[in-house]
Every structure is written in structure tokens, then in C-alpha cells.
Amino acid sequence: MEYRSGQKVVTEFPEELQVSFIMFDIPCKSQTLEPGPRKYLTQEIMKTLRFSFYWKRGIELRHIDNLKRAAATAEPVEPYNTESKEELPKRFRWFLDFTIPSTGVPLADRLVLIIRTPDGRKAARVAARL
């Protein structure tokens, strides 16, 4: 595969990437099987999550230092059941923007995001490539 910018062949990412993503509060399978009320992704929980970015080549993960969180905002999600008489928990859609240094990184590498809980457990892993 070959990438071009005009007539020039491009083999590496630019000096930095602007990465934006949206997080939705969707229960995992274990939450749907457990009895009782489920936990929702609140602002307090979001503050405790640790976001780590890596460049991946083959099976090698290289931690990315010096990244910047450019923005983080939340937007309320309206409940689908507006006729319910009970008080429904507030739910949000989270918008996050990061600036990732990428000088010298080949276009074939993948960007990996791992989100961890305060105790170090993996809450999510996402990989992206061109």
C-alpha cells in the first residue's frame, strides 16, 4: 500500500496527530448478568481512569510519552424511557481529544489506547490504523 500527499510518497505520520474519540456508557456482559443496579460512567469515575497510548509494530508496544489531553467534555444522553415514573440515573457521552507526538513513526504502525482503572485493571483497549 502506498500513501501520497500530492505527488510525494508519504511513509511516516506527521509530527503530531490530533486524536478524538467518543466514549459511550454501555454495560459489559458481566454487568448484565449480575443482579442489582449497574454502575454508570460518572464524572468521578472518568477522573480516575488512566489513558495510555502506544505505537504498535507487530507485537511490540512502545509507550507514547509527552502526549497532551486537548479537551474532555461530557454531553447528557436523554433516557429512552421518558414515561418511567422512577428516577433514572444520568448518563453521558464523553468527548476526548488528545495531541499525540508522531515524528518518525511509520504509517504501518498502529495506535493503541489502553484505559485502566485506578487499581491497574484493563477497562478497554482500542487499536487504530490507516
Report helix, strand or coil for 36: coil
Q: Is the pLDDT of residue 30 over 90?
A: no
- Alpha helix ranges (H) inside the chain: 29-33, 43-48
User: What pLDDT score does 104 carry?
Assistant: 95
Q: Which residue has the higher pLDDT, 76 or 82?
A: 76
Q: Judge whether 22 and 94 are in contact, CB under 8 Å.
A: yes
- Topology (CATH) of 3-79+89-128: Immunoglobulin-like (2.60.40)
User: What pLDDT score does 86 carry?
Assistant: 66
Report helix, strand or coil for 49: coil
Cell of 35: 443482579
Mind listing the pLDDT tens digit for each residue in 88-125? Answer: 777 889 999 999 999 999 999 999 999 999 999 998 89
pLDDT bucket at 130, cuts 50 / 70 / 90: confident
State the CB neighbour count (10 A cutoff) for residue 7. Answer: 5
Distance CA 70, CA 85 (A): 39
Q: Judge whether 123 and 48 are in contact, CB under 8 Å.
A: no
Domain extents in the chain: 3-79+89-128
User: What pLDDT score does 25 carry?
Assistant: 75
Q: Is the pLDDT of residue 68 over 70?
A: yes
Q: In a 10 Å sphere around its CB, with 0-12 CB exposed, 13-18 middle and 19+ buried, how is residue 115 labelled?
A: middle
How high does pLDDT run on average in the chain? 87
